[in-house]
Amino acid sequence: MPTGRIKYYNFDKGFGFIAQDSSDADVFLHSSAIKQPEYEELRVGQRVKYNIVEGEKGLVAQNVEVLLTPTERRWLRQGKAIIPRGYSGFPGQHQDQFLGNERTTFSEETAGSKPFRGHRDRGGSMATSKPTAKPRSQPIPPRGFDTAETSTQDVKEQTSKQLSFGDLYILKQINFETPMFFALPDDVQLPATVLEMTLSRLTLNSNGNERHVAKTDVKYCYKDVDAERVQAAIDIDAEVKAQQLTQLTSDADACELDTEAVQRARRSKAVIQITLREGEIFRGTIDWVSPYEIKLILANGAKVVIFCHAVYALSLN
């Protein structure tokens, strides 16, 4: 059976789209086609398998089965919420959203957002060789399916609830209480678990002490299990480090990344090099990219999430 991920799902209206693993054509999904009626919280990013039939307007999924691990099945029997592996958010949050790096719009919220429910509202964007100002892209309708105007309107209305992949990543670590390291200015490596998140800061538990850290102070982060490999993979650009560059402030001109080139690099698994403002150099392939972060898979297999406001230069090989 074909497999894919839930790309968009309107929980209230019971329909969405599946991004296929083996094709660019998206598949329409109706809740009546789901074989597991007990699984009530289908989310963007959840992996599924299904049959495909040709509908009047495009491909339609039938006999959709959510792919769960044995642990997730046990959690489901126990009535626990399940977070889709790799792409989902905190349980119960924002089911109506798009999946797909190159097709996602990320909206802004007010500074009064409550912990771990909001996402970031930073002035900085991605980095390249020269500063530019570029409006955020609009979502592209799913390929391979002729959506109705009402569906398109629903999608536009729901993008206001969107989270970035970086936010979803942090929310997942909150849920699993993942031991992590957060790299701060002046070569500080802070061991911590994340307690909660707002659009502007993280609340961390570091060695039993609660600490509030502004997101703009974080250069990169990684899981404790990857600590030795991440540190072993870092090179230093002495010339950049000697400049003693500070972190970007909200009123500074941020640099704009060539998003299309980065997406091509991600899809082709090309190796990229990222140099940070304090001189650290990372080389690896892109796992995912958002307006605020890039997750790299390093040559030794370690994974690191780099915050774009800390980037000095990015080169594509």
Domain with CATH 2.30.30.100 in the chain: 165-316
Of 293 and 124, the one with more pLDDT: 293
pLDDT exceeds 60 at position 111: no
pLDDT exceeds 80 at position 219: yes
Q: What mean pLDDT is reported for the chain?
A: 74
pLDDT exceeds 60 at position 263: yes
Domain with CATH 2.40.50.140 in the chain: 3-99
Whole-prediction pTM: 0.53
pLDDT exceeds 50 at position 133: no
Rounded to an integer, the average pLDDT of 189-212 is: 92
pLDDT exceeds 60 at position 98: no
Per-residue model confidence (pLDDT) at position 131: 36
pLDDT exceeds 60 at position 36: yes
pLDDT exceeds 50 at position 129: no
Residue by residue, what is the 3-state secondary structure of the chain? CCEEEEEEEECCCCEEEEEECCCCCCEEEEHHHECCCCCCCCCCCCEEEEEEEECCCEEEEEEEEECCCHHHHHHHHCCCCCCCCCCCCCCCCCCCCECCHHHCCCCCCCCCCCCCCCCCCCCCCCCCCCECCCCCCCCCCCCCECCCHHHHHHHHHHHHHCCCHHHHHHHHHHHHCCCEEEEECCCEEEEEEEEEECCCEEEEEECCEEEEEEHHHCCEEEEHHHHHHHHHHCEECHHHHHCCCCCCCCCCCCECCCHHHHHHHHHHCCCEEEEECCCEEEEEEEEEECCCEEEEEECCCCEEEEEHHHEEEEEEC
Q: What is the pLDDT of residues 4-24, one digit of tens each?
A: 988 888 877 888 899 998 888
Per-residue model confidence (pLDDT) at position 241: 93
Per-residue model confidence (pLDDT) at position 87: 39
Per-residue model confidence (pLDDT) at position 69: 67
CATH superfamily label, 3-99: Nucleic acid-binding proteins (2.40.50.140)
CATH placement of domain 165-316: 2.30.30.100
